[in-house]
Structure 1
Amino acid sequence: MSDSGPSSIPEITLQGQGLTKVYHTGSVDVHALRGVDLELREGELVVLLGPSGSGKSTLLNILGGLDSPSSGEVTFRDMRISADDESTLTRYRRDHVGFVFQFYNLIPSLTARENVSLVTEIANRAMDPAEALALVGLAERLDHFPAQLSGGEQQRVAIARAIAKRPDILLCDEPTGALDSQTGILVLEAIERVNQEMGTTTAVITHNSVIGEMADRVLHFADGHVADYQENSLRKGAHELSW
């Protein structure tokens, strides 16, 4: 992440304040989030670490406008994101947020280029699909179908699809969870390249503590809240990680 001076602090891109989420299952209330406060700053890469069930995915879905909190507020720059304002919520998801999940969700009958084009056709400031695929190292695989690509390549197509609309925020939920370590590093390198070259504010969920070494900040989740937080002044590149 670039730094314009020793005392400069990037502006806040996305903020969550007092976020709670309660799921009602019969007579049981499940508290997925318990009053989370969080800031994502312009151009930084943040890793959210924690075991399964600690609330990470719930938080990411709320920050991305896929779910709404039981209480609390999400603010994107000066825009309040609320389930009560469906048009603002839809515009926020469409224009400002890119998602990458553990499973690639590519359409099998479409090539890599065509899978990415699905997003660029409805985006306001879209990249050329070939440019997005080149950014994640797939310039030579544009016309391959998902069945002709490895798992890591399919995940990189999913990343290209997410960034092709030039989102301000990239939210990644266990993007290497279904991959072996070497393939996972290639995927992380693609995410890091997007963060550095496009300046996209990026949050990555993982349970792998090693990935935290490539982040500007690491948030440790436990029992629905941020249990610990650390700045990472010795940020490594993804290729330097040793799983």
Structure 2
Amino acid sequence: MSPSHHGTEPVFDVTGVTKVYTSGEVEVRALAGIDLQLFAGEIAVLLGPSGSGKSTLLNIIGGLDRATSGSVLFNGRDLTDFSDRQLTRFRRDHIGFVFQFYNLIPSLTAWENVSLVTEVARDPMTPDEALAMVNLTDRMSHFPAQLSGGEQQRVAIARAIAKRPEVLLCDEPTGALDSKTGVIVLEALTRINTEFGTTTAIITHNAGIQQIAHRVFQFLDGRIASMHVNEARIAATEVEW
């Protein structure tokens, strides 16, 4: 079932967002005017080839980068007006990030990697709870080098969700994984979405993954070429690529 949008304000309301990078004399237009809304509790998949603007948009709505023009409303507040300090607080309090490469600290165990976040969050779950959500209870004292790629990615997801973020932003979370392992990672993401109602945006160039989404945005050349609603979503376990 798709979450009902009737009467719900979007968590994110992106209007006319552009991003231009200047390198010497050359201007590169990474985003050429994006309009997009993300609603509470939905999984949105942002699909498209490399260089189509997906990561740039994710970084802007996550407060890691700033738009050149346009507005980005988060629960009605415009991030484009935020100071650097406000953006840092916004990321810390509201957003969980998952990237293609897991960014774990090699000298810390899985449990310790997650606890880095729980020590500074406002209302965290315990590292034990977060690792249980991704089915890694029996691996929590292992170091990253002792874990498979899929296990490392699930530690990264546990770290992202441990602070109970309203929004989970995932950039190619299965990009470094084979399909069997990738499905386990997608299962973790869909479970978190179901159990916590975490608004989730997943960037991928992998068309098979769109089937777990409530809505799918197709990116091309810095624009959204199309958006469609999935009337019949499938379980992560059924995804094939």
- Normalised by the length of structure 2, the TM-score is 0.97
Shift of 1:27: 1.2
Which amino acid in structure 2 is aligned with residue 216 of structure 1?
H
- Written as runs of structure 1 = structure 2, the 5 A alignment for 1:200-215 is 200-215=198-213
1:174 aligns with 2:172: yes
Specify which of 65, 68, 78 is matched with residue 67 of structure 1. Answer: 65
Tell me the equivalent position of 1:110.
108
Contact kept? 2:17, 2:35, Cα under 8 Å: yes
1:163 aligns with 2:164: no
Which amino acid in structure 2 is aligned with residue 90 of structure 1?
T
Q: 1: distance between equivalents of 2:234 and 2:72?
A: 30
- Normalised by the length of structure 1, the TM-score is 0.96
* Secondary structure class of the residue paired with 1:35: strand
* Secondary structure class of the residue paired with 1:157: helix
Tell me the equivalent position of 1:189.
187
Tell me the equivalent position of 1:23.
21
Alignment gaps of 5+ in structure 1 = none
Tell me the equivalent position of 2:38.
40
* Secondary structure class of the residue paired with 1:183: helix
Tell me the equivalent position of 1:129.
127
Q: Which runs of 4+ in 1 moved over 2 A?
A: 1-4, 7-11
Contact kept? 1:82, 1:89, Cα under 8 Å: no
Contact kept? 2:30, 2:53, Cα under 8 Å: yes
Q: 2: distance between equivalents of 1:72 and 1:119?
A: 31
* Secondary structure class of the residue paired with 1:82: helix
Shift of 1:91: 1.4
Contact kept? 1:151, 1:179, Cα under 8 Å: yes
Shift of 1:15: 1.5
Shift of 1:8: 4.2
Provide Cα deviations, 1:53-101, integer angstroms capped at 9, x if missing partner. Answer: 0000000000000000000111110222136522321211000000000
Identity rate of aligned residues, in percent? Answer: 63
Tell me the equivalent position of 1:219.
217
Provide Cα deviations, 1:182-241, integer angstroms capped at 9, x if missing partner. Answer: 000000100111111111000000000110000000000000000011000101111011
Q: 2: distance between equivalents of 1:73 and 1:93?
A: 17
Q: 2: distance between equivalents of 1:146 and 1:209?
A: 29
Q: 1: distance between equivalents of 2:199 and 2:15?
A: 18
Q: 1: distance between equivalents of 2:8 and 2:187?
A: 23
Shift of 1:10: 4.0
1:153–1:209 Cα change, 3 Å: same
Q: 1: distance between equivalents of 2:161 and 2:2?
A: 20
* Secondary structure class of the residue paired with 2:11: strand
Tell me the equivalent position of 1:101.
99
* Secondary structure class of the residue paired with 1:115: helix
Alignment gaps of 5+ in structure 2 = none
Contact kept? 2:3, 2:41, Cα under 8 Å: no
* Secondary structure class of the residue paired with 2:217: strand
Q: 1: distance between equivalents of 2:120 and 2:203?
A: 27
Contact kept? 2:94, 2:165, Cα under 8 Å: yes
* Secondary structure class of the residue paired with 1:202: strand
Q: 1: distance between equivalents of 2:64 and 2:56?
A: 9
Contact kept? 2:150, 2:185, Cα under 8 Å: yes
RMSD: 1.4
Contact kept? 1:18, 1:37, Cα under 8 Å: yes
Which amino acid in structure 2 is aligned with residue 230 of structure 1?
H
How many residues end up aligned between the 2 structures? 241
Shift of 1:3: 5.0
Shift of 1:159: 0.3
Contact kept? 1:100, 1:171, Cα under 8 Å: yes
